[in-house]
Structure 1
Amino acid sequence: MVTFVDINGFEEFTKYTETIDSKGPPVLFYFSGSKLPDGRSWCPDCVEAEPIIKAFLNELKKTVIFAYVDVGDREYWKDKACPFRTDSRTRLMVIPTLIKWNGVQRLEGTQCTKRELLQMLFEEDD
């Protein structure tokens, strides 16, 4: 069973990470550009990856927490001082990025659209 969490911005992300139970289910963070009025991200790669990841999650037969993190608008994200880029816990270079919390596993950019890589990331603990 997948539990979905929506996180908006760096401050909410930081607060959420402080509540993660190390004995609880694995937490995966999906970092994406903020949504435009039409419901799609300003980031074309995020628009491409999101339905693939959601379809994969709908088939997943394990307990995980999937946290969708809105990194902000294009201008904010492109700033080299953006905290999602500079924070040692995230160190994002591109979006979309999918990170398994407290692990080294991550998928970046077009890797997020590859089902076999998603499978490997989600089954790492088995």
Structure 2
Amino acid sequence: MEVNHLTLHEYDEFKTYIANLPETGPPVYFFFTGQKKENGRSWCIYCQMAEPVVKAYLNELKKEITFVFVDVGNPETWRNKACPFRTDSRTRLMVIPTIIVWNGVQRLEGSQCAKRELLNMLFEDED
């Protein structure tokens, strides 16, 4: 049992990836964050706070899942009301960071992503 990690950049990579997702297999989770700056950290302060908590949690998780880090772009791209991550009916993002269970209703948004107890509930719901 292990967590399979993947990183996607921008909406087109995300769209291509979900178009090719198999119907069966381990659950897929998407973690939407702001694009990384040259220092390797997101421009989004809430994403910076959530990422180490999420990564530490995933390192301890004993489940077979696919966990996909999705870069939603730079601040200008994200703040645009027409940003495809905001308008896509499958994601409907209002804030970053956001973690969603693909083809599920569960999601964590904003500061919720940095709370271990909420991560626990999100990943346990799949059992």
Secondary structure, counterpart of 1:6 in structure 2: strand
What secondary structure is seen at the aligned counterpart in 1 of 2:91? Answer: coil
Cα distance in 2 for partners of 1:88, 1:18 equals 14
Structure 2 residue 110 is matched with structure 1 residue 112: no
Task: Please give the residue correspondences for 1:83-102 in structure 2 after superposition, counting only pairs within 5 Å.
Answer: 83-102=84-103
Q: Distance in 2 between matches of 1:12 and 1:43?
A: 21
- How far apart are the structure 1 equivalents of 2:115 and 2:103? 22
Task: List 4+ stretches of structure 1 deviating above 6 A.
Answer: none
| Secondary structure of residue in 2 paired with 1:57 | helix
Count of residue correspondences = 126
Letter in 2 for 1:5: L
- Identify the residue that residue 56 of structure 2 maps to in structure 1: 55
CA distance in 2, matches of 1:111, 1:125: 18
Give the distance between the partners of 1:125 and 1:85, measured in 2 at CA.
Answer: 25
Query: Which aligned pairs between 1:38-53 and structure 2 lie closer than 5 A?
Result: 38-53=39-54
Distance 2:126 2:11 in 1: 27
TM superposition score normalised by structure 2: 0.98
Partner of 1:66, secondary structure, is strand
* Aligned CA-pair RMSD: 0.5
For structure 1, the residue ranges without an aligned partner over 5 or more in a row are: none
Tell me, in whole angstroms, the C-alpha distance in 1 between the residues paired with 2:126 and 2:78: 31
Q: Identity over the aligned pairs, expressed in percent?
A: 60
Q: TM-score, normalised by structure 1?
A: 0.98
**Post-superposition offset of 1:22:** 2.2
